[in-house]
Amino acid sequence: MGLKGTYTAHIAVAASAVGLGVAVWGAAVLTDTEAAAGNAARPTRHAPAERAPEPGAPPVKMPESIAHAAEKGGNAVNITIDDGPDPRWTPKVLDVLEQNDVKAVFCMVGPQAARYPELVRRVVAEGHRLCDHTVSHDTTMDKKPVAYQKQQILQGKKMIEDAAGGAKVEYYRAPGGAFTPDSRRIAAAAGMRPLGWNVDTKDFHRPGTDAIVNTVRSELSNGPTILFHDGGGDRRQTVAALRQVLPWLKDQGRSFSFPVRTAP
């Protein structure tokens, strides 16, 4: 999945501004491994919805397992948006979500969040949740040392939370689904639930609006968590697909939820 040079340059500038000595996202561009690696995070069957802890109960340790289920359970689905924020496409995605009264999880790349904090704050203000998608979006993280994984995860989380003005990052999604036991442990210890997906819309490749919509319709039986993108390139097909998909999901009797964070 190639990224435009200007997009890569923006990330490099943002990373430099916060004093991070890491490779920019463009040095580890997205590839077809995103879909393949994501399959490892897919459940073979639906996981049960979580139950809320009793009032006054001690905090529940964040599970290290990869979440797919919806908090509401039943027919609820989770909309997740990756690789932003992007000044052109994130506002358009937010507008479509608002028009359909849908909340989503935005999995953000750290330097992008640092570069566009006003978009991060808008995401939070409109009731969506934040997810850490690392600093460099390195889809080979699972082959890197634990220290590198830790840096990518924790620095990404800090950059997003700083941009958000204090709002917490509640999930961690490994780039390309490249989770490891260590990365899941690091994320959970930092209060973030590892987050997978069930339906990869392939929108990153820009296959056409109809293809994106048809993928959701044909693969929704895989599970409730649907993957879209608002960053990494031209996302007009994603915006157009969301305009069709969200009303269609409602017509199918689906409600909208957030992914589970804790376990019973």
Residues 200, 243: Cα–Cα separation, whole Å: 17
Instruction: Name the residue with tokens 């048809």.
Output: 214
Residue 205 known to be catalytic: no
Distance CA 8, CA 27 (A): 8
Residue closest to 258 by CA, chosen among 91, 132, 129: 129
Listed in sequence order, the residues at least 6 apart from 125 whose beta carbon sits closer than 8 Å to its beta carbon are: none
Q: Where are the alpha helices (DSSP H) in 103-168?
A: 110-115, 117-125, 146-164
Selected catalytic residue, list 82, 86, 138, 203: 82
Q: Is 82 a catalytic residue?
A: yes
Tally of CB atoms within 10 A around 16: 12
Burial-class residue 217 by CB neighbours within 10 Å (0-12, 13-18, 19+). Answer: middle
Residue in 10, 68, 128, 229 annotated catalytic: 229
Among all residues, which ones are annotated catalytic? 82, 229
